Structure 1
């Protein structure tokens, strides 16, 4: 959530979810949509949603030597760096400055392992005012949180937790 561009004021919602393929990944059957793609909400295939708590617990089980909080902090640092770059130049090269403007962005992140074995976030894309259908369906207070941050300047009232970047 972009509250201001000067000074840069950003928040990240505590609401996030994974997009995972419905079938385990294999290097065969490249025509199998449910194996090789993760966006199922625009198809007739079912969408599997994992809660934040379930994901974080599963992450700790699968990667006991990794610290999810450190990975998440690195994700947040990457998102902030993205917006620092986007606001470094005036329009048309960058985002304009306006004290009355607010914005919601969706950020798709993939995690990769670096050559030295560390988990590193890669920002795949950023969308201005993304589709919030699933956020509202699975997190009933999502828009309340959004409005508390962007309109009421009261991020502490957020139900799902808000992190200032």
Structure 2
């Protein structure tokens, strides 16, 4: 959530979800949509939803030597860097400055392993005012949280938690 561009004021919702392919990844069937794509909410295929708590628990089980909080901090640092770059130049190269403007962005992040064995976030894309259908379906107070931050300037009232970047 972009609250201001000068000074840069950003928040990240405590609501996030993983996009997981319905079938395990293999290299033998490239025509299998459910194996190679993760966006299922625009198809007739079911959507695999894992809660934040369930994901974090599974992450700790699968990668006991990794610190999810440190990985998440790196993700947040990457998102902040993205918006620092986007606001470094005036329009039309960058985002304009306006005290009255607020914006919601969706950020797709993939995690990769670096050559030195660290988990590193990679920003795949950023969308202005993303499709929030799934967020509203599974997190009933999602828009209340957004409005508390973007309109009421009260991030402490967020149900799902808000992190200032």
Give ranges in structure 1 of 5+ residues lacking alignment. Answer: none
Partner of 1:59: 59
For 1:5-25, what per-residue CA distance to the aligned partner results, in whole angstroms no more than 9, with x for missing partners? 000000000000000000000
**Cα distance, 1:56 vs. partner?**
0.1
**Cα distance, 1:30 vs. partner?**
0.5
**Cα distance, 1:40 vs. partner?**
0.4
Partner of 1:114: 114
The 5 Å alignment of 1:63-78 reads: 63-78=63-78
**Cα distance, 1:133 vs. partner?**
0.2
Structure 1 stretches of at least 4 aligned residues deviating more than 4 Å after TM superposition: none
For 1:92-122, what per-residue CA distance to the aligned partner results, in whole angstroms no more than 9, with x for missing partners? 0000000000000000000000000000000
CA distance in 2, matches of 1:28, 1:36: 11
**Cα distance, 1:147 vs. partner?**
0.2
For 1:108-165, what per-residue CA distance to the aligned partner results, in whole angstroms no more than 9, with x for missing partners? 0000000000000000000000000000000000000000000000000000000000
**Cα distance, 1:67 vs. partner?**
0.1
CA distance in 2, matches of 1:116, 1:48: 32
TM-score (norm 1): 1.00
CA distance in 1, matches of 2:9, 2:37: 34
The 5 Å alignment of 1:28-47 reads: 28-47=28-47
CA distance in 2, matches of 1:36, 1:152: 41
CA distance in 1, matches of 2:115, 2:37: 26
Give ranges in structure 2 of 5+ residues lacking alignment. Answer: none
Partner of 2:134: 134
TM-score (norm 2): 1.00
How many residue pairs match? The answer is 165
CA distance in 1, matches of 2:25, 2:67: 25
